[in-house]
Amino acid sequence: MNRDAEHGNASSSSSATGVSKVFRLFCVTLLGAMTCTIYTPAYAQSASIAQPASTESTEDKLQKLTAAVAQAQAQMNAYQNQMQELQKQLSALRQQLAAERSVAPASPSPPPPITGESSSQEGSASLEEIRERQAMEDTQIATHEQTKVETESKYPLKVTGLLLFNTSVNTRQVDIPEDPTYAIPGGGSTALSLRQTILGLDARGPELMGAASDADVRVDFFAIGSQSNYAANGLLRLRTAHAGLNWNHTRAFVALDRSLVAPYTPTSLVAVGEPPLAWSGNLWAWVPQIGVSHSVPLHHSVLKLAAGLVQVPNPPSLGQTTTNPPAVWQTERSRWPGTNARIAFAKGDNGEGPEIGLGGYFSPHMTASNVRFNAWAGTLDLRLPVGRHIEFLSNVYRGQALGGLGAGGYVDYVFEYTTTTRVLHPLDDIGGWAQLKFKPKARLEFNGAYGIDNPFANDIRRSIASSSTETYSGLSRNRTAFGNVIYSPSAYLLFSVEYRKLWTNYAGGSTNTSDVIGLGAGYRF
């Protein structure tokens, strides 16, 4: 009985062991078939091995299945080695491309500086510039050593410029046919010119007291000299110049440029010799100055502070882009330089958000007859992005004796007469401009702007009424409106069409108007 039980238990144990072996064999067979099916092309062979044969023992089947799994594993290892080799080749190609780009000279920055761009537009423009650089890369590398500019100081110097051709059709007479700013009674004109071409030098110098140094200068051919027959070709004129020391948030500088109280200028490719809206609310005059600026980073914003000394020239005569200066300017005769300052608050970390600023200007003057008077101005400026494609810019002012800054109708002061004396009175003035920019694409923009310069009529009337011989030599009011389209098919080419309307008033006269249609084509280098 016990022996039968033991025999039964043994049979059961043997049966269980057999079932376990069969189950393990089935699992190994299934795993081998699936592995061979996925990872090796010898699926048919593995499948045939996996099929149990009645004449083969369990050990033979197990060996064949083990061999099939080993073969699949070997093929998997081969695939992994191939993938690692491809990754190495891809990494080497990336390093080679980066090295080639670092050797190629940097291309000029894209024109003209305009804000409110979307990241997708910037990426598209960058891609086009990369393609242009790659097309020119072989020639640039081959000639790099022969064309580089060598300086006495051995520090980097870059030559830049804008070869600008423009034409304008004026329906009535204007001051300068190539770049008119006010209307004159008389017939119209048509002008073709390259005088607004700009040449520039940009330099970087050594560090001093922990600050990086830099300098730049810009000249054009828009001066008018005594040889009037050469005026169509133009004479060389210094436009702007800068030199400065830059710390993290502070810059000390000397410059010939716009006053600190007028940080912005309207956008135009047709009006370059004299900036757009000059003498119509734009305090555009380039004046020598020395100063310092400092920025205070705040939470996602910045506070900007700037102040400096400035030397303002005498106002030019009507129709002149440059002044043959007298032996001594009125500001020089006073023996005190002028001052100007600006404080602004800008939102955003990269200077792309809205910004509002307040400015002030004060400068003592003395006439050739030793009569002292003061020039001053208070200003308000605004930059307001509206979405990703629209930007609003504006600058307004109120002051006295602003002829040297490009306002006041070309006049600093007027005289009032009594029965026995003549009293000098600085001419009060108010004006400003505003521009709306729409930039649907990175290389296409539309601009519309309006500006006005309005000397006080009461000052002019009192001056004329108090003397039977006194006349007013300036403009009593000047207004300009324009709209333009600027298209840049590449980083180096610029095309523009512009319509401008001028309204000019003289003392005691009617309004003179002129329609100006201008075309511009430029090559930036």
User: Last residue of a domain, which of 77, 107, 132?
Assistant: 77
Is 127 a domain residue?
no
Same domain for 433 and 347?
yes
Q: How far is CA 322 from the centre of its chain?
A: 28
Question: Is residue 85 domain-resident?
Answer: no
Q: What is the pLDDT of residues 428-439, one digit of tens each?
A: 999 999 999 999
Residue 92 lies in a domain: no
Looking at per-residue pLDDT, the higher value among 363 and 464 belongs to 363
Tally of structural domains, the chain: 2
What is the band of 48 on the pLDDT scale with cuts at 50, 70, 90? very low
Measured between alpha carbons, how far is 485 from 326 in angstroms, rounded to an integer?
A: 41
Does a structural domain hold residue 39? yes
Q: How many residues does the chain have?
A: 525
User: Residue 43: what pLDDT?
Assistant: 39
The one-letter amino acid code at 209 reads M
Does 463 lie in the same domain as 368?
yes
- Looking at the structure, tell me whether residues 51 and 148 fall in a common domain: no
Same domain, 216 and 310: yes
Residue 151 predicted with pLDDT over 80: no
What is residue 320's predicted lDDT score, i.e. its pLDDT? Answer: 56
| Amino acid letter, 152 | E
Residue after which a domain boundary falls, among 77, 98, 125: 77
What pLDDT score does 472 carry? Answer: 87
Which of 46, 77, 108 terminates a domain? The answer is 77
pLDDT at 110 over 80: no
pLDDT, tens digit, 9 for 90 and up, residues 291-343: 999 999 988 899 999 999 999 999 987 755 554 555 688 999 999 999 999 99
Q: Please report which helix (H) or strand (E) contains residue 381, including its range.
A: strand 372-386
pLDDT surpassing 50 at residue 149 = yes
Q: What pLDDT was estimated at residue 213?
A: 95
Note whether 71 and 152 are same-domain residues: no
Examine residue 44 and state whether it is found in any structural domain, yes or no.
yes
Same domain, 53 and 198: no
CATH number, domain of 323, equals 2.40.160.10
CA distance 209 to 211: 6
pLDDT exceeding 70 applies to what percent of the chain?
Answer: 74
Residue found under tokens 């204007």: 174
Shared domain check, 161 and 66: no
Which pLDDT score, from 0 to 100, does residue 153 have? Answer: 73
Are residues 39 and 173 part of one domain?
Answer: no
58 band by pLDDT with thresholds 50, 70 and 90: confident
pLDDT at 106 over 60: no
Whether residue 62 contacts residue 47, with contact meaning beta carbons closer than 8 Å, is answered with no
Residues 64 and 161 in one domain: no
Token pair belonging to 86: 């491809």
Domain residues for the domain of 41 are: 2-77
Q: Are residues 46 and 148 in the same domain?
A: no
DSSP 219: E
Tell me which of 10-14, 130-134, 211-215 is least confident. 10-14
Predicted local confidence at residue 127, as pLDDT: 67
The reply to whether 248 and 345 lie within a common domain is: yes
Is residue 233 very low, low, confident or very high in pLDDT (cuts 50, 70, 90)?
low
Is 60 in the same domain as 168?
no
Q: 417 lies in a domain?
A: yes
> Per DSSP, what are the bridge partners of residue 203?
157, 215
111: in domain: no
Does residue 446 carry a pLDDT above 50? yes
The helices-and-strands tally (H runs, E runs) of the chain is 6, 19
277: left (phi over 0), alpha (psi -120 to 50) or beta: left
